[in-house]
Structures are given as structure tokens and as C-alpha cells.
């Protein structure tokens, strides 16, 4: 009986002592539990992206109002911070800059366990490169959060020969490019992905078949969505031939590894299903001469190419 009471008294005393010790133990800010003198929150940006002159930083040090501010890196690569003075951040990753600021706060005995966070609001020095079938290929600064359509718009939009395939290569992951298929109106929100500083955007070129000479609608016709265009389809896209067209002496100008070649075509027999309807290739020029001057087209390939130069480009999605 006495032993049981004594055991309970000892247990209560130990519980009281443990509670008192816990109340006296100070609460540390940051990661004091692992004896790290300074901490910084991981940056949301990829670690290989480095800061440079003109970048705008959103700096936050927990419980230090003087160091909760936005600051832009100067041309010399430095920032001027309250309590810390001039600090050179250019060339560092956001995580490295966070760590340096945290160490400075500890060294100056301003904060025992600082929590530092840097968010890069504007990257002024690492633009997005836009190449391929856009009006104005080049490098465009990435100021603030941007998406694919913003960069394409900055580059003047797509050309008439732009294909649907657009490849985005992230600077920090070049071995895994992203292939996207766009509509010409750029209306699909799923394809409008976020960009990162240093990304490269490559807009593909779609194939074009040209139909010139004695047709009602001379022009270039896009091979959209990998469309295959035959001779008869090309004539249909050009809205048919004129009354003076010479269907016996038509020709195709085609680029080959050995240079340009001119291939004779009997359109009359193809239209009568007596010859196979030939499949055209990208950049082929189908030339239909006039029966009034049957030898005019034979002046050479240059004359046919000149006829195809400057014609309007049309979509062929109705095929």
C-alpha cells in the first residue's frame, strides 16, 4: 500500500519536472533542431538558373520587416539591402543568394536562425529564343510569368508557312524537349504552357504545294496536319483549270538531292483516270501551261519558279 502511493508520488513529480523543463526551453526560429545556424527556403525556380543584372527579386526574411521588399539587381550585379548593405548576387542561383543573405544575418548577429526566401519576379537577362516560322525570330526578354502564346506574339506571330508542330526546349532540361501541336488561331489553352528563362521555341515549317499557270486560283496550298496532296487535289484547290490550259504539257518542278528537276505530267490522262494520280511532295510546283503558247513553259525551271514566287498561300484543311 505504502509502496504504491510512493510510486504514484514519484511519477507525478517526474511529470511536473518534465513540464517545467519544456516550458523553460526557448523556441528557435528556422532549423535550430538540426543545429544549422541559418536557413533558406528552397527557391521555386530551377537551381541552374542564375541571377543577373536587371532581375527583379522578391525578398522575404521571416520576422524581419526591413528585409521584406522587392529589389532589382543593378548593372554591376549588386543589390543594396537594409541592415546588410551592398551585396553581389549576380551569377548566383536563387538558392545560393538565399544562403548568403542568411549567413550575413547570422554573422552580423542580427538574426539567430533566419528564414530567407527569394522569388525571381522578373528575369531580364535570360530571354526566350523563338526560331523557325515566326515573323520576327529572335531572343525576347522574359519579364514576369509568361507562356508560350506570349512569346509567339512577341515574335510577331506565325508565318503563313508555319506548321502545327512547336517544340519547346527548357534550358535546364535540354534532353527532354516538349512537342506541342497548335491550331493556327492559338486558342487551345492546354498548349499554352509556362516558359522558363532561357527556353527555346522552335516553330516547324509545313509543306506547301504550289499550283501556277492556267488555273483559276494560282497559289501555294499548305499540307496541314501532314496532309497528302495529289495532282487532282492540287487542281481542285486551285479551283480548276482555265479554258486555254494545255493539259498534255503540264509539269512538276521538284527539289531533289541533285538539284531542281522538271517532270512532265499528262494531266489529261490523270483526269480521265488513264494515268495514276501522282502524289505531290512538299515544295513541288505544278505548272499548267497555256495551249496558246505550248513552248512558253519550256523556257526553263526559272520561269516556273518566278511564276510561283509571290503567290498567295492558302490552307488545304478542306481536303
- Domain chopping of the chain, boundaries: 32-123, 125-205, 208-314
For position 59, what pLDDT does the model report?
94
Question: Using CA atoms, how far apart are residues 139 and 128, in angstroms rounded to an integer?
Answer: 5
In tens, the pLDDT along 48-104 reads 578 888 888 999 999 989 999 999 999 899 999 999 999 999 889 899 999 999 999
Question: Using CA atoms, how far apart are residues 306 and 304, in angstroms rounded to an integer?
Answer: 5
Beta-carbon contacts of residue 219 (< 8 Å; ≥ 6 apart): 210, 211, 237, 238, 311, 312, 313, 314
In tens, the pLDDT along 101-137 reads 999 999 999 988 999 999 888 777 678 899 999 999 9
CATH code for the domain defined by 32-123 = 3.30.1950.10
In tens, the pLDDT along 215-264 reads 999 998 888 765 789 999 999 999 999 999 999 999 999 988 888 899 99
Domain 125-205, what fold?
Outer membrane lipoprotein wza fold like (3.10.560)
For position 28, what pLDDT does the model report?
42
> What stretches of 126-284 show up as alpha helix (H) in DSSP?
148-154, 231-237, 267-271
Beta-carbon contacts of residue 315 (< 8 Å; ≥ 6 apart): 184, 221, 222, 224
In tens, the pLDDT along 9-64 reads 555 454 444 444 444 443 343 433 344 445 544 444 444 578 888 888 999 999 98
Taking a C-beta distance cutoff of 8 angstroms, is the pair 51, 93 a contact? yes
Question: Using CA atoms, how far apart are residues 213 and 288, in angstroms rounded to an integer?
Answer: 5
Q: Per the structure block, which three cell numbers stand in for 111?
A: 538574426
For position 201, what pLDDT does the model report?
95
For position 183, what pLDDT does the model report?
80
Architecture of domain 208-314: Roll (3.10)
Does the pLDDT value for residue 283 go beyond 60? yes
> What stretches of the chain show up as alpha helix (H) in DSSP?
2-24, 94-107, 148-154, 231-237, 267-271, 301-308
Side-chain half-sphere CA neighbours of 79 within 13 A: 28
Helix (H, G, I), strand (E, B) or coil at 266: coil
For position 275, what pLDDT does the model report?
93
Question: Using CA atoms, how far apart are residues 128 and 200, in angstroms rounded to an integer?
Answer: 6
- Do the strands 250-256 and 285-288 form a parallel or antiparallel pair, or are they unpaired? antiparallel
Helix (H, G, I), strand (E, B) or coil at 225: helix
In tens, the pLDDT along 150-181 reads 999 999 999 888 888 899 999 878 899 999 98
Q: Average pLDDT of 309-318? A: 65
For position 318, what pLDDT does the model report?
46
pLDDT band at 304 (very low <50, low <70, confident <90, very high): confident
For position 251, what pLDDT does the model report?
92
- What is the pTM for the complete model shown? 0.52
Does the pLDDT value for residue 7 go beyond 80? no
Residues in the chain: 319
Question: Using CA atoms, how far apart are residues 40 and 157, in angstroms rounded to an integer?
Answer: 41
Question: Using CA atoms, how far apart are residues 253 and 302, in angstroms rounded to an integer?
Answer: 10
> Do 32-123 and 208-314 show the same overall fold?
no
Does the pLDDT value for residue 297 go beyond 50? no
Question: Using CA atoms, how far apart are residues 252 and 301, in angstroms rounded to an integer?
Answer: 10
Beta-carbon contacts of residue 34 (< 8 Å; ≥ 6 apart): none
For position 121, what pLDDT does the model report?
82
Amino acid at each position: 500500500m505504502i509502496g504504491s502511493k510512493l510510486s504514484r508520488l514519484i511519477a507525478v513529480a517526474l511529470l511536473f519536472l518534465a513540464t517545467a523543463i519544456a516550458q523553460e526551453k526557448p523556441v528557435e526560429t528556422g532549423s535550430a533542431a538540426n543545429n544549422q545556424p541559418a536557413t533558406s527556403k528552397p527557391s521555386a525556380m530551377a537551381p541552374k538558373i542564375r541571377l543577373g543584372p536587371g532581375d527583379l527579386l522578391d525578398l522575404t526574411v521571416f520576422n524581419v520587416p526591413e528585409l521584406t521588399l522587392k529589389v532589382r539587381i543593378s548593372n554591376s550585379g549588386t543589390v543594396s539591402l537594409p541592415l546588410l548593405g551592398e551585396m553581389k548576387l549576380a551569377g548566383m542561383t536563387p538558392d545560393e543568394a538565399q544562403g548568403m543573405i542568411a549567413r550575413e544575418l547570422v554573422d552580423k548577429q542580427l538574426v539567430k536562425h533566419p528564414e530567407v526566401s527569394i522569388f525571381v519576379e522578373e528575369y531580364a537577362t535570360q530571354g526566350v529564343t523563338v526560331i523557325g516560322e515566326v515573323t520576327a525570330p529572335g531572343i525576347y526578354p522574359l519579364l514576369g510569368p509568361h507562356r508560350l502564346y506570349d512569346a509567339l506574339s512577341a515574335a510577331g506571330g506565325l508565318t503563313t508557312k508555319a506548321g502545327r508542330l512547336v517544340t519547346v526546349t527548357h534550358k535546364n532540361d535540354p534532353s527532354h524537349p516538349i512537342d506541342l501541336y497548335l491550331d493556327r488561331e492559338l486558342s487551345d489553352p492546354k498548349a499554352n504552357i509556362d516558359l522558363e528563362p532561357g527556353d527555346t521555341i522552335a516553330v516547324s515549317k509545313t509543306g506547301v504545294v504550289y499550283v501556277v499557270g492556267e488555273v483559276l486560283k494560282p497559289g501555294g496550298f499548305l499540307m496541314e496536319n501532314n496532309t497528302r496532296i495529289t495532282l487532282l487535289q492540287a487542281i481542285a484547290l486551285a479551283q480548276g483549270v482555265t479554258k486555254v490550259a494545255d493539259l498534255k504539257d503540264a509539269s512538276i518542278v521538284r527539289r531533289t538531292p541533285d538539284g531542281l528537276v522538271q517532270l512532265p505530267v499528262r494531266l489529261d490522262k490523270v483526269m480521265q483516270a488513264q494515268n495514276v494520280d501522282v502524289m505531290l511532295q512538299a515544295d513541288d510546283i505544278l505548272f499548267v501551261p497555256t495551249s496558246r503558247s505550248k513552248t512558253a513553259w519550256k523556257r526553263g525551271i526559272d520561269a516556273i519558279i518566278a511564276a510561283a514566287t509571290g503567290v498567295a498561300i492558302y490552307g488545304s484543311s478542306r481536303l
